[in-house]
Structure 1
Amino acid sequence: MRKPQVLIGAATSGSGKTTFTLGLLRLLRNKGMKVQPFKCGPDYIDTKHHAMAAGEEAVNLDTFMASAGHVRQIYSRYGTGADACVTEGVMGLFDGYDKMRGSSAEIAGLLGIPVVLVLNAKSTAYSVAPVLHGFKHFYPGIRVVGAIFNFVASESHYAYLRGACEDVGIEALGYIPKDEGIVIPSRHLGLSIDGSCCFDEFANRVAEVIAKTVNVERLLEICTTDFPACGVNGDAERGEMKIAVARDEAFNFMYRENIGALEREGEVVFFSPLHDTVLPEADLIYLPGGYPELFLAELSGNEEMKQALRAYCEAGGRVLAECGGMMYLCESIAGTDGVAYPMVGVLSREATMEPMKLKLGYREVVLNGKAIRGHEFHYSRVKPGTEEVVRVGEVYNAKGGRVDTPVYRYKNVIASYVHFYWGECGMERLLNMALRDSE
């Protein structure tokens, strides 16, 4: 089976990968194609934007959090029914957690996906030739087949860039002109294009621009290649558990394959801590991260949901709470203005957005002698409390150094800033590992 498959890479962050990817996804969707978006790395904000642009849920491909075999399998599983597969890279093409390990290039080589580079052409012209030459020849395990230039000032500017491509032997596929209307604003906390109405307008605008200045048909042609069919465990019998997942405006940072793993473990139902007053009947509850700090008054004011969650946890119900979900289980959350709002109160800790300081990176958590991996990304912090809360596991960064990120346990509740990836091992196994770790 052959189909268009492309990995959108770049020399550096800020080159325009996301802008072009969103426009391409929307353009192909508008053409009536079913396009499956993927994202290299642990980002769960870009995947939301991909899903809105393509009309299909995006899937993370990450070789730190998952094995190579698992990455191949999920690419095959989600891409099989698509007319085309579009993967957005992370950072620069060869940037990984350890040299090239975990990079977009590693994903491209693993899956045999052709690479199209998006290069920032601002203040440069023919000098892109050695850059293109280096990216083409640095690693023979990938195929860089084309280039698209961003922030191009004019047709004459593009002519210099096209000449560089010709001399290097990489096909020039077009350009994105300088246009403030298609520049994604600062995505601090991912807030710039979360509204679906605003986003639809933005995605359509980018699609219209690249339809005029990028040879999309040629891109699809040179990126059409054999699709990697892998054994997919799609017919496995579903478990009998009932699993409740929080999903609304405040809680929505989740990996697609994590939810897929839950769907294989049992029946998944979604509920809203913002809007619902009744907690679904469940054997497991998952509280993912998100933006609770933007809805402090609403979350705090929903007393029925807070009481229901507190009662569930106190009765020994099993819960996994990540980042914003963990903050929601604390006694309170203080916003950037310092005003604290009472929350569920299961964890005797106070979360605060003051002072806002970014903490991020891959994490490996060793629980009961076994490791599970994930990613940490947040601006908030949890204040030390006078009452002790049990901590489980040992936490390391991608280079094996110890980090102080806590994994809390209260009864059968596991809570941490780590966004765990259990798409390969299953959430129940993760919880069992964590609960046994403190026994």
Structure 2
Amino acid sequence: MTDDGLPAELRAENAIRVGQPPRNRVEAARKIVWILPWLIFLGSPVKDLTSGHHSTAATAAGWVALASFTGLYLTLVFRNMGRPFSGPTVGALVALLGSLAVVLSLTLGNQWIGLFVYVSVTCGATLPQRVAYWAVGANTLAMVLVGLRVGEDDWSLVLVVLLLGFAMMGVKQLVRTTIELRKARATVAQLAANEERLRLARDLHDLLGHSLSLITLKSELAGRMLPDHPDKAAAQVADIEQVSRQALVDVRAAVSGYRRTRLPDELAGAQVALKAAGVTAEVPGEPDLTGVPEESESALAWALREAVTNVVRHSGATRCTVEVLHRQTLDGAVLELAVEDNGSGGSGKGPGNGLTGLTERLAKAGGTLEAGRIKHGFRLVARVPADTRSAVGSGA
């Protein structure tokens, strides 16, 4: 366990990125595995070709056509997950796929009518939304007409073709929304960083502008007084020293405020990190920190960061609950953080460096740490003084 930032990206890197091309062979294999189960509707054509009902030439042509149809379908759907073809190319390939379905069904029989399912899925997944509406409907109508021609008697597949086409349109819209949300979140993060930099610049200007102007003025005044009035010049220099010391104190206070770890920020980060790691999380909203000393809040924020890091990296947990409570004890009011998960709690070889350092950090703030295994997982409880009087009374 370490005191570094919450590793929200550690598990996210291993997840399937929705609407994005695969970055390696593992991701490509995962996407293919997601597609392959839908090939179940090819069972009837395969059974037809192996039944011996057709001549050798027709069987060979059927296998070639089926392989071409399947390859074309997989290419269209797989490429659409990341780097899709251009619009005209997609339109031409979808038309070719539909033509193959019609020709194969008319020439080889009604057992090939299931190919229209793949045409419908491809229309919904690859074509623009407005075009897809008409394409799915036209494909369903073509299936009905071909089915009447080849003597199809089971029309339950018509509903499957229609619904799957529209379902894929919904999935495509969901993917598009996910991508837009991802971009929006990145934009918001960038804007927040820019705003923080601007706020820091404004604060430093407000803190140093007056002080530096005063130092410059008194320096010029001391320079003019030095030849004839050294005593008055010395007084000006003493004022300059006092102003510069105060300016240094103000700058340090401002910078420490920016560096301070805040509990609400860590709670939001914990939610993101646990979700990215595939852990079901129960994290409270922003707690009431009125009157809580900054040192206590910072120590508790570090405790939360350390606990969530352990859950994500070492515990193998699938569920984690975070609670922040105000309690009244014999030593005074305390703010309590409890993090409980259903994992293993790590290696089990005693407290790691992270827990040891965290105990020391909490002790400096007048707090305590309890961590250990429970019946169905691991629980960490950190307590810090909730007001200045409690902090003083605890010896912090």
TM-score range, shorter chain: under 0.3
Higher strand share: 1
Higher helix share: 2
* TM-score (structure 1 length as normaliser): 0.21
- Of structures 1 and 2, the larger Rg is shown by 2
